Chain A
Amino acid sequence: MALELTGNKELLGSALRGSRRDLSRLLSLIEKGEDVAIPENTSTKKSMILGITGPPGVGKSTLVGRIISYWKKEGKRVAVLAIDPSSPRTGGALLGDRVRMDSADSGDHVFVRSLSTRGNPGGISASLMSMVKLLESCGWENIIIETVGSGQSEIKIVAFADKIILVDGPDRGDIIQAEKAGIIELADLIVVNKSDTPGALKVAETIKSALSFSNENDSPQVLLVSAERNTGVDEMMELIRYSKSPIWRDRIKIRERLLSLWDYRLLSSSQLNQVIEDIETGSISLEDGLDILSR
């Protein structure tokens, strides 16, 4: 164990000095649930963390590809964490986001890591916190987190991102469903992608009218974009740069961070499997199990 820790320390030192290989290895360790003691970011330079979320198939990855290009032109170093679900049955995952991010493979100033949920949404958000911190410490100025938002899990992105873009597409209207989950209010900007196809305008109007029922001052703007044709992307980036998050969202953020940390504590407990077994056999109750794990 002690040996392992010194090994991690060396990796960390080398990653902080700019080794891409060792940064990548550290991310794997964090993903596996290992504790990596990342020093607090003491410099005044803070990374900008952008969350991209929305239903499957609306073009999030293509849009991320455009954002990478946009920031690259500004001379920024961009890191992307692209999260895809893994099969709960086999644990396997097909991570295909890179296919739609041509700009991702084109240089030393872009780092893209695909992550699977490993059938464990709580787990991934917990390690995400450390991953983002590590990327930030290693000098990645702009960090994008891309997740498939469905139901409750998408709110997690609030815990990590400074700014959130919610993406929807024509003929979906899923976002109106998402309204119930609250993400629509938490977004800084709502983007209706594929603006070149019929139906996009109507979806944008529907979302706008749904938003008009809530407090208008802090409801997000709705913007039509075509990631495929690269129209509206510059405007989107301008809007997101100057958008101001409402204060109440900071509270939600702290709350979500607490929940993530809590999940992390539970899931990384050495007694987790034993507790699950004991609950299964009926020798302890759920509450007992929780007490043991949170001790």
Chain B
Amino acid sequence: MKIVMAKPGLDGHDRGAKVIARALRDGGHEVVYTGLRRTPEEISRIVMDEDADALGLSTLSGAHDVLIPRICALLRDSGMGHVMVFLGGIIPKRDHEKMFSEGVRAIFGPGSRTEEILMFLEDASSRIGSNMPIGVLNDDGWRWN
């Protein structure tokens, strides 16, 4: 898969995002890393220019509540509803349901194993193969838990 890894908003730590980017690369994926402090508009444009299949977002600042819905909406509105969004970083349990309802398909918090993320992507690939939705637009209830 072609995956954009992005750091939305103002937090300044990207070790986690970089570790994931590296792990996904080693898993055979093509990963584009955006660097720190990207706005939702920038991220949406990068996903478009790169024609990515998936978008991994890492946030540690607590602003996910605002940023993630905005990014998902931008993707939907600009014809990229097929793009799969997954999250990492610090997302409190109580916010998970809201994130899922915005179109997010998986949330990987601290302690997640990179193998698990690769399994998730494999699952997503096989869903694409059988024409089942994985993107932010057509939510059929598929989640990675």
Contact = CB atoms under 8 A, between A and B. Distances in A.
Interface in A110-131: 111-114, 116
Interface in B25-66: 25-35, 38, 42, 45-46, 48-51
Size category, B interface: 20 to 34
Interface stretch (A21-29, A144-152, A190-198): A21-29
Nearest to B43: A105
Contact of A24 (B28, B30, B35, B50): B50
A246 interface: no
Size category, A interface: 20 to 34
Given A92-B28, A113-B49, A113-B50, A98 B80 contact: no
Contact of A90 (B28, B42, B50, B78): B28
Contact of B33 (A21, A24, A96, A111): A96
A86 B48 CA distance: 21
Contact of A27 (B30, B31, B34, B51): B51
19 contacts: A20-B49, A25-B51, A27-B51, A86-B30, A87-B25, A90-B25, A90-B26, A92-B24, A92-B29, A94-B22, A95-B31, A95-B33, A96-B21, A96-B33, A98-B35, A98-B46, A99-B35, A111-B49, A113-B50
B51 A98 contact: no
B92 interface: no
B79 interface: yes
B23 to A, nearest CB: 10
Interface of B: 21-22, 24-35, 38, 42, 45-46, 48-51, 78-80
B137 to A, nearest CB: 14
A94 B27 contact: no
Given A99-B35, A105-B45, A90 B27 contact: yes
Nearest to A19: B79
B48 A95 contact: no
B79 A95 contact: no
Interface in A78-97: 86-87, 90-96
**Which of B21, B30, B78 counts the most chain A CB atoms within 10 A?**
B30
B113 to A, nearest CB: 18
A106 B42 contact: yes
Contact of A92 (B25, B38, B50, B78): B25
